[in-house]
Amino acid sequence: MIQNAVRGLAALTLIPLALPASAHAAPGAPGAVRALPLVYAVDQIPVAEESRGGYTREKFRHWNAGLDPADGCDTRGEVLLAEAAEAPTVNAGCGLADGEWLSYYDEQEVTDPAALDIAHTVPLAEAWDSGAGHWPPARREAYANDQDSPASLAAVTARTNRHRADRDPAAWMPPAPGATCRYLGEWVATKLRWGLTADHDEIDTIRVYAAGPCDRHVVHYAPAP
């Protein structure tokens, strides 16, 4: 399993790198989109122990009316429309048919929208563990329906998303090898965007990939309002 190999590699000593001057902006400060190599971006995430106490999915209201309440689609429907490789027919009540999607986690082509989940890149439970448990309900709703960042949500096969469940990259990675760097970049972008923390195993795993196969990957993020 790739996770076992990564855990072994994580024990290696990594040589610290000097952070570029452009990377010193506070991760939570509002402003324009920031771009950082993954190897630098991961070190901007605060490290902290996680706590699941008090978590339920119902504490993250989703799906809401989406970006355009007049279009008849909730957040799920709007993400499906935005990510369709072939635009679907939109019927009453935002019923979608005859479209086509590519699930990047497993590189599966999908024509039935019912076979897709809208995955939170950082699952709701993981977000709770990493700081969202202290947020007011309105911020948790904004997180759960975040279409303002392309990293936050993704249309992927329900089977693969449910196999992932709420695991972080130390315990699960997408089965498609070509998805690895994108997934880690979007994971880090989401944590930075929302000011979330990460535990030691999570950080160590991402650092190994960032210093190896994903050393050229660039993370793009803008802090959430």
CA–CA distances in Å: residue 218 to residues 43, 117, 187: 13, 26, 12
Per-residue pLDDT at 24: 33
Which two tokens mark 162? 């449910």
Question: What DSSP string runs through 104-158?
Answer: TTTTEEE--GGGEEEEESS-HHHHHHTTGGGS-HHHHHHHHT--SSTTTEEEEEH
3-class secondary structure, 82: helix
- What is the residue-averaged pLDDT of the chain? 89
Whether the pLDDT of residue 27 is over 90: the answer is no
Mean pLDDT for 29-58 is 93
Per-residue pLDDT at 109: 98
User: What distance in Å separates the CA atoms of residue 88 and residue 69, rounded to the nearest whole number?
Assistant: 19
Per-residue pLDDT at 32: 87
Pairing of strands 101-103, 95-97: unpaired
Whether the pLDDT of residue 134 is over 60: the answer is yes
Question: Where do we find the tokens 């936050």?
Answer: 152
Task: Tell which residue, 109, 36, 117, 121, has the closest CA to residue 76.
Answer: 117
User: Can you give the pTM of this predicted structure?
Assistant: 0.87
Sorting pLDDT into bands at 50, 70 and 90, what band is 43? very high
End-to-end alpha carbon distance in the chain: 39
Chain-centre distance of CA 105, in angstroms? Answer: 12
147-177 pLDDT, tens per residue? 999 999 999 999 999 999 999 999 999 999 9
